[in-house]
């Protein structure tokens, strides 16, 4: 843990001036009682920034939130799990906009001050008949210390909720950063299938906040992969309300460096938690590439290895198959020289100079049998480096993702589809 910040409790409501609530609306299943809708709001004016999926097919809430964030003064985030509101056409956009309009009116905010996010199955209309009545409940239920409930409400295939908060001192003021996230499958670099909401009571300009968020996302959510898939709803939204007081943190200062380090930690911890909670995966694997001709080449190699189904299957089978790793290096389209490639597994040399290293296979198997280990690939060409966090590919993962028929079955009962 860095001396700059310390972990505290509270999640997204740890920072001053933020309130939240969560309710059960039966979004996916009307008889289910689990929390599936949540609202995060700042009690005072704030600035906002975010990043979204780079998938060219974008869900309605992504389009709406992107438009609202351009104004920079979003103060509330409405989110639901169970339905992605993606590939739902004009009606999907109307539903997303209606939710922001209703919540904005209830909070005495402009519609553009409310962002909206959804996660769940793609292609089904939103069950607004169950969602609309719960919007007023969310607003009246807003309170401090409800951060954990929000983290629980945004879960889909997650097996546990994910939240974190830290405290640091800047210019004599205690600054707090809180976050919650969801994600367990369809995880791929360049915004994984995930949602993450971050709050801070630090005083920031919109430009500074945007820069902080972009940098932290690049070294966290853009560095994880489970299955190489990218969804339609991926969103990271951060609100900063300045409630801690003091002067605005200016970019390029020592204070900005402290804040960036703390935000980097918060987002990376959330990103890693998504990989660890991958849908029935069993291994958390760090892939470090160094000695590449450039940063981009190192990135190509890391992503090729981390996304290789063959490599991931061998990890699941406790098989230290460096041959699968080097073949992925070779097709990554990075500049490589076979005779210079070194591969270490869990700190042990498996391949040196493109050839099998003199190492015990049993020793390598023990390394891969661990639930956490590191693959280090040195191309020995220059100084390009890149790190990505990945997982194995298990039979249970395949079984879990074989069918989503149950979603359509309920949707047919709701009259939302004829399938």
If DSSP codes are grouped into helix, strand and coil, which group holds residue 292? strand
If DSSP codes are grouped into helix, strand and coil, which group holds residue 79? strand
In sequence order, the β-bridge partners of residue 164 are 179
Active-site residue flag, 148: no
| Calpha distance 199→332 (Å, rounded) | 38
In which residue are the tokens 């969310």 written?
A: 138
| Calpha distance 2→11 (Å, rounded) | 19
Short-list 351, 339, 359, CA closest to 375: 351
DSSP 234-252: -EEEEEE--TT-SPPPPTT
| Calpha distance 374→387 (Å, rounded) | 10
Which member of 119, 193, 225, 232 is catalytic?
A: 193
If DSSP codes are grouped into helix, strand and coil, which group holds residue 376? strand
Pairing of strands 235-240, 195-200: parallel
Torsion of CA 122, 127, 128, 133, to 10 degrees: -130
Under DSSP, the state recorded for 14 is S
| Calpha distance 229→65 (Å, rounded) | 22
User: 343 near 322, Cβ under 8 Å?
Assistant: yes
Q: Which tokens in the block code for residue 103?
A: 């919540």
CA distances from residue 235 to 21, 79, 263, 332 in whole angstroms, order as listed: 19, 11, 16, 28
Q: Which residues are catalytic?
A: 193
């Amino acid at each position: 843990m860095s001396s700059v910040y310390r972990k505290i409790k509270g999640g997204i409501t740890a920072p001053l001036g933020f309130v939240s609530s969560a309710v059960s609306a039966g979004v996916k299943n009307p008889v289910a009682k689990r929390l599936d809708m949540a609202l995060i709001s700042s009690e005072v004016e704030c600035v906002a920034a975010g990043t979204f999926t780079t998938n060219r097919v974008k869900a309605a809430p992504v389009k709406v939130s992107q438009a609202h964030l351009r104004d920079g003064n979003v103060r509330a985030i409405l989110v639901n799990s169970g339905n992605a509101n993606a590939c739902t056409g004009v009606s999907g956009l109307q539903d997303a906009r209606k939710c922001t309009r209703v919540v904005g009116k209830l909070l005495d905010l402009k519609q553009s001050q409310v962002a909206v996010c959804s996660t769940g199955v793609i292609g089904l209309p939103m069950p607004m008949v169950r969602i609309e009545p719960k919007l007023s409940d969310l607003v009246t239920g807003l309170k401090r210390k409800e951060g954990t409930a929000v983290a629980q409400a945004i879960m889909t295939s997650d097996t546990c909720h994910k939240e974190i908060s830290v405290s640091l001192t800047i210019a004599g003021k205690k600054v707090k950063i809180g976050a919650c996230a969801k994600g367990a499958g369809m995880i791929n670099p360049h915004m994984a299938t995930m949602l993450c909401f971050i709050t801070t009571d630090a005083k920031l300009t919109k430009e500074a906040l945007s820069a902080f968020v972009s940098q932290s996302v690049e070294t966290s959510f853009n560095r994880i992969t489970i299955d190489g898939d990218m969804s339609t709803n991926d969103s990271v939204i951060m609100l900063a309300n300045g409630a801690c007081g003091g002067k605005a943190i200016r970019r390029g200062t020592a204070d900005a460096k402290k804040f960036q380090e703390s935000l980097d930690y918060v987002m990376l911890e959330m990103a890693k938690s998504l990989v660890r909670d991958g849908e029935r995966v069993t291994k958390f694997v760090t892939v470090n590439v160094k000695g590449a001709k450039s940063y981009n080449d190192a990135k190509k190699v890391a992503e090729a290895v981390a996304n290789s189904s063959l490599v991931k299957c061998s990890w699941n089978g406790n098989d230290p198959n460096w041959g699968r790793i080097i073949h992925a290096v070779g097709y990554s389209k990075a500049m490589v020289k076979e005779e210079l490639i070194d591969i270490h597994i869990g700190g042990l040399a498996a391949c040196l100079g493109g050839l099998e290293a003199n190492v015990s296979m049993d020793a390598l198997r023990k390394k891969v049998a661990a639930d956490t280990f590191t693959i280090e690939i040195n191309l020995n060409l220059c100084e390009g480096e890149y790190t990505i966090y990945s997982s194995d590919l298990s039979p249970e993962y395949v079984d879990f993702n074989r069918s989503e028929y149950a979603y359509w079955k309920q949707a047919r009962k709701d009259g939302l589809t004829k399938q």
